[in-house]
């Protein structure tokens, strides 16, 4: 029987710490850390994320602004909004919810966000800093995974860490964080040969391929730590991860559930980055 890593409880603990630091910041400076969230179009999943991000800001005592732009927003309108927020002293963090509608150029938008306000850590400047191990901002989902490991007392140093998924948001930065924690890291993807065999080597398996219930017991070593980054919607509307929980759980030593595992941690790390951005901006005043 695996120990269930309770992402909700760990997330609540970290949010309480952030709330305390934010209150101290606000008392010291006379203003709150501020986050602006931009969403273009009406993708329902993105709308849920954005609502949750605003709610988290209220919970930890941040100032927040939400910009819900219509689907037909032009690139120049979006860039003009980013420029306005870059210049706004009340706003310390800017997040543009991805994916953007197809007619918009995501890379140009990411490049336009002032790296000092890039709380997603998507700007190439921040991606480069992560590669070096000199963090201004933590990549939110991978940092959430690291916090779950740390707060569950799971040692990474010397462990075989297998990440399945190579996205810029999860797989690649996750590899860097595990590497900096002295794990031995393998990144797998759709062209990996003998995927099940590579996964069976893992002491720590990070599942991030976006396929519901893909990882079954035969792909997991006895006693492995299994971290499920997947967020898939079943036909019946229920949320499910990339891991087939009922078959893998008896074999694992630790496992994250979906929902209630990695999910709540991502927004918590975003809050942490927003506080960092505000503190860094204040230290330059």
Residue 177, judged by CB atoms within 10 A of its CB (0-12, 13-18, 19+), counts as: buried
112 and 118 in contact (C-beta within 8 Å)? no
Q: Does 6 participate in binding ligand GUN (rule CB under 6 A)?
A: no
What is the phi/psi pair of residue 9, to 5°? -70, -45
Contact with ligand GUN (CB under 6 A) among 40, 81, 104, 169: 169
Q: Does 98 participate in binding ligand GUN (rule CB under 6 A)?
A: yes
Q: Count other C-beta atoms under 10 Å from residue 159's C-beta.
A: 20
Contact with ligand GUN (CB under 6 A) among 140, 148, 185, 275: 140
Q: Which tokens hold the place of 265? A: 């941690």
Region near ligand GUN per CB under 6 A, out of 23-31, 54-62, 95-103, 124-132? 95-103
Q: What is the DSSP letter of 182?
A: T
Name the minimum Å distance from CB 104 to ligand GUN: 13
| Cα distance between residue 271 and residue 98, in whole Å | 18
Q: Which tokens hold the place of 243? A: 């891991």
Q: Does the active-site annotation cover 97?
A: yes
Q: Does 95 participate in binding ligand GUN (rule CB under 6 A)?
A: yes
Strand partners, 184: 160
Residue 273, judged by CB atoms within 10 A of its CB (0-12, 13-18, 19+), counts as: buried
33 or 154: CB nearest ligand GUN: 33
Q: Does 208 participate in binding ligand GUN (rule CB under 6 A)?
A: no
Contact with ligand GUN (CB under 6 A) among 11, 97, 174, 240: 97
Binding string to ligand GUN for residues 227 to 266, with x set by CB under 6 A, is what?
---------------------------------------x
Cα-based distances in Å from 144 to 11, 120, 175, 263: 9, 12, 13, 8
What is the phi/psi pair of residue 166, to 5°? -130, 35
**How many positions of this chain bind ligand GUN (CB under 6 A)?**
8
Region near ligand GUN per CB under 6 A, out of 91-99, 190-198, 216-224, 246-254? 91-99
Q: Does the active-site annotation cover 47?
A: no
Region near ligand GUN per CB under 6 A, out of 62-70, 73-81, 96-104, 172-180? 96-104
| Cα distance between residue 254 and residue 108, in whole Å | 40
Name the minimum Å distance from CB 269 to ligand GUN: 9
50 and 97 in contact (C-beta within 8 Å)? yes
Q: Does the active-site annotation cover 118?
A: no
Q: Does 120 participate in binding ligand GUN (rule CB under 6 A)?
A: yes
144 and 266 in contact (C-beta within 8 Å)? yes
Single out the catalytic residue among 6, 117, 118, 120: 120
122 or 245: CB nearest ligand GUN: 122
Binding site for ligand GUN (CB under 6 A): 95-98, 120, 140, 169, 266
Q: Which residues are catalytic?
A: 53, 97, 120
């Amino acid at each position: 029987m695996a120990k269930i890593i309770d992402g909700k409880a760990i997330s609540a603990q970290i949010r309480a710490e952030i709330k305390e630091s934010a209150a101290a910041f606000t008392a010291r400076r006379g203003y709150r850390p501020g986050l602006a969230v931009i969403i273009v179009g009406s993708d329902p999943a993105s709308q849920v994320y954005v609502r949750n991000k605003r709610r988290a800001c209220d919970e930890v005592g941040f100032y927040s602004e939400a910009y819900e732009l219509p689907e037909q927003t032009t690139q120049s309108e979006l860039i003009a909004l980013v420029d306005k927020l870059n210049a706004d002293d009340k706003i310390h963090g800017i997040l543009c919810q991805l994916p953007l509608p197809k007619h918009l150029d995501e890379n140009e938008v990411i490049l336009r966000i002032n790296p000092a306000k890039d709380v997603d850590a998507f700007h190439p400047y921040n991606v480069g800093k992560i590669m070096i191990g000199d963090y201004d901002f933590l990549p939110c989902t991978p940092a959430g995974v690291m916090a779950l490991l740390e707060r569950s007392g799971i040692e990474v140093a010397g462990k075989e860490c297998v990440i399945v998924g190579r996205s810029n948001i999860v797989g690649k930065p996750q590899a860097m964080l595990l590497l900096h924690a002295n794990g031995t890291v393998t990144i797998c993807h759709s062209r990996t040969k003998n995927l099940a065999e590579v996964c069976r080597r893992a002491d720590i398996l990070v599942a991030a391929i976006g396929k519901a219930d893909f990882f079954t017991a035969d792909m997991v070593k006895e006693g492995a730590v299994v971290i499920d980054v997947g967020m898939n919607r079943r036909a019946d509307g229920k949320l499910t991860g990339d891991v087939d929980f009922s078959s893998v759980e008896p074999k694992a030593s630790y496992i994250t559930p979906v929902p209630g595992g990695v999910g709540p941690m991502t927004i918590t790390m975003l809050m942490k980055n927003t506080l960092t951005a505000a503190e860094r901006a204040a230290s330059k005043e």
